[in-house]
Amino acid sequence: MTYHKPVLLDESIKGLNIKPNGIYVDVTFGGGGHSKEILKKLENGFLYGFDQDIDAINNTIESDNFKLIRSNFRFVKNFLKLEGVQKIDGLIADLGISSFQIDVPERGFAHRFENTIDMRMNSDADLDASEILNSYSEKEIARVLYEYGDIKQSRKIAQKIVKYRLDNKIETTSQLKDILSAFYPKKIENKFLSKFFQALRIEVNDEINALKDLLNDVVDLMNDKARLVVISYHSLEDKLIKNLITKGNVDGIDENDFFGNRKLQLTPINKKVIVPTDSECNVNSRARSAKLRIAEKI
Domain spans in the chain, listed from the N-terminal domain onward: 9-99+207-297, 105-205
* Res 56: pLDDT: 86
* Res 228: pLDDT: 98
Its sign, for the CA torsion 5, 19, 273, 152, is positive
Residues 9-99+207-297, CATH architecture: 3-Layer(aba) Sandwich (3.40)
Between these two residues, 255 and 88, which has the higher pLDDT value?
Answer: 88
CA distance linking residue 204 with residue 206, whole number of Å: 6
CATH class entry, domain 105-205: mainly alpha
Residues linked to residue 229 through DSSP beta bridges, in sequence order:
92, 294
* Res 255: pLDDT: 82
Digit-coded pLDDT (tens) for 207-235? 999 999 999 999 999 999 999 999 999 99
Digit-coded pLDDT (tens) for 109-153? 677 678 889 999 998 999 999 999 999 999 999 999 999 999 999
243-261 burial code (b ≥16 CB/10 A, e <16): bbbebbbbeeeeeeeeeee
pLDDT averaged over every residue in the chain: 92
SS3 for 49-102 is: EEECCHHHHCCCCCCCCEEEEECCHHHHHHHHHHCCCCCEEEEEEECCCCHHHH
pLDDT band at 277 (very low <50, low <70, confident <90, very high): very high
